[in-house]
Amino acid sequence: MNLGARIAFFVAILIGIAATAVYILHPRALPAPAQATRPSAETRLLARGEYLARAGDCVACHTEINGKPFAGGRPMPTPFGALYAPNITPDEETGLGLWTADDFYRMLHQGVSRDGTLLYPAMPFASYTKVTRADSDALYAYLQSVPPVKQKNRPHELGFPFNNRDLLIGWRTLYFREGEYQPDPSQGAQWNRGAYLVQGLGHCAMCHTAINALGGSSESKAFEGGMIPNQNWYAPSLTSNREAGLGDWPLQDIADLLQTGVSHRGTTYGPMAEVVYNSLQYLSDEDAMAMAVYLKALPRRESEAPPTSQARLVDPAVMELGRKVYAVQCAACHGGEGEGHAPAFPPLKGNQSITMLSPVNSIRMVLNGGYAPGTLKNPRPHGMPPFAHLLDDEQVAAVVTYVRVAWENNGTPVTPAQANELRKLLPE
């Protein structure tokens, strides 16, 4: 390289160094980095509404199996006949397209439709009345944003006199108390948040409180458990540690059960598994824990006696048959002494869901089997196979009796007739 070329080369290097120094010392000369786009107020409102729709499990009633979301048509069996959930998409002819935010709040808050029609309490307005106006508006905005579906609402199939909506005035007088949730100043923010979710959008009391002959429930018996109408599942008491009372559960186990469907203390099946799948798995960790705090604090409604074995009430021959069936069919997963392998296979020893006053759920699990819900935090749940095709009514009754009284469990025996009644519900 000749002298001129060398000089030119070094000049180029110096120019490069100088340019770099300018960029370093004067950063504004660099191209401005792209700023992250903040969600708009509308986007945040719709996201909030979607979250609330999931917290309220709206899709469970307002979406027919294999149907379009929120288009209605799903039958809701009641002791008085079949009700059909309406279309709540924004279709102007068959849905909520012409509704205003005021109409929607009135419906949630008062149980009155846009045209003034009184709603049947299968729509849980007695719980939704506690929803704040701000949350109602967010929920309304979200439902107005979903794809509209033109699908006519199916008329209810109620016999006389239940098809007369004027009778609802009496029901509302007895069982409906209008009003948004009012925080309890004696409790902390977390407890109040949990109470708002459980009592309001979660409408947990609708299943976990017994329904009387008029289709109503007493506030004094809230969360004390009861049969879910026309579903033949028992929703256990949340106030009694002899059933599903949560007083001695660690908070994290309660939150896990709500969010994932499984915990070290139990597993959800049946209708509760659907609630977890459609709704509770989408809760934030903070809201799941807030619900756990509130549920754990529910007052106990009865004195708690230590569990004692009820095996003395069982015919020894039945006990032996149950032991043999258990050893062959159950022990591999649930352990020889009912200790289980949590959370995949729940324990049976000391499990209140096994020893509840009603044996319905235990019998149904043996006959039907089932899976815990597949959730975001438990996408591949373990399941229990059905045994209806392997065990007759005598064997089902014996093995259910065995797990309800063995290992100091304080359940009571069940009969082959009880097993047979639930077998009749199996699909043919």
pLDDT(25) > 70: no
What's the confidence (pLDDT) of residue 203? 94
Buried-state track 204-239, b at ≥16 Cβ within 10 A, e below 16: bbbbbbbbeeebbbeeebbbbbbebbeeeebbbbbb
Give me the CATH topology for the region 185-305.
Cytochrome Bc1 Complex; Chain D, domain 2 (1.10.760)
Tell me which residue of 376, 351, 369 sits closest to 265, measured CA to CA. Answer: 351
Domain 311-423 has CATH 1.10.760.10: yes
What's the confidence (pLDDT) of residue 32? 53
Least confident of 231-245, 345-359, 393-407: 231-245
Tell me which residue of 194, 291, 196, 302 sits closest to 239, measured CA to CA. Answer: 302
Contact 111, 126 (CB under 8 A): yes
* Count of other CB atoms within 10 angstroms of residue 37: 7
| CA distance linking residue 415 with residue 338, whole number of Å | 21
- Two domains, one topology: 185-305 and 311-423: yes
- Residues in Cβ contact with 332 at an 8 Å cutoff, skipping those fewer than 6 apart: none
Q: Residue 385 has which token pair?
A: 């196979």
What's the confidence (pLDDT) of residue 157? 92
The percent of residues above 90 in pLDDT, for the chain, comes to 60
Domain parsing of the chain, residue ranges:
40-180, 185-305, 311-423
pLDDT(29) > 50: no
Separation of CA 248 from chain center:
21
Rounded mean pLDDT of 423-427? 87
Tell me which residue of 369, 371, 389, 388 sits closest to 379, measured CA to CA. Answer: 371
Taking only the tens place, the pLDDT of each residue in 125-158 is 999 999 999 999 999 999 999 999 999 999 999 8
H or E, element range at 247? none
- More confident: 358 or 305: 358
Contact 345, 351 (CB under 8 A): no
Residue 277's SS3 state is helix
Average pLDDT, the chain: 87
What's the confidence (pLDDT) of residue 38? 75
What's the confidence (pLDDT) of residue 34? 54
Q: Tell me the angle at which helices 270-278 and 251-260 cross, rounded to the nearest 10 degrees.
A: 80
* Cα–Cα distances in angstroms (integers) from residue 305 to residues 135, 224, 292, 302, 309, in the given order: 43, 17, 24, 9, 12
Rounded mean pLDDT of 340-366? 88
- More confident: 266 or 139: 139
H or E, element range at 8? helix 3-25
pTM: 0.84
pLDDT(6) > 50: no
Using pLDDT thresholds of 50, 70 and 90, give the confidence band for residue 402.
very high
Residue at 120: amino acid letter: Y
Tell me which residue of 143, 287, 261 sits closest to 202, measured CA to CA. Answer: 287
pLDDT(36) > 50: yes
| CA distance linking residue 126 with residue 355, whole number of Å | 31
The percent of residues above 70 in pLDDT, for the chain, comes to 89
| CA distance linking residue 56 with residue 363, whole number of Å | 30
pLDDT(12) > 50: no
Taking only the tens place, the pLDDT of each residue in 247-257 is 788 999 999 99
Taking only the tens place, the pLDDT of each residue in 308-336 is 677 788 899 999 999 999 999 999 999 99
Tell me which residue of 383, 392, 387 sits closest to 367, measured CA to CA. Answer: 387
Contact 403, 409 (CB under 8 A): yes
What's the confidence (pLDDT) of residue 7? 47
pLDDT(19) > 50: no
What's the confidence (pLDDT) of residue 152? 95
H or E, element range at 325? helix 316-329
What's the confidence (pLDDT) of residue 11? 42
* Cα–Cα distances in angstroms (integers) from residue 203 to residues 128, 151, 174, 189, in the given order: 7, 27, 18, 20
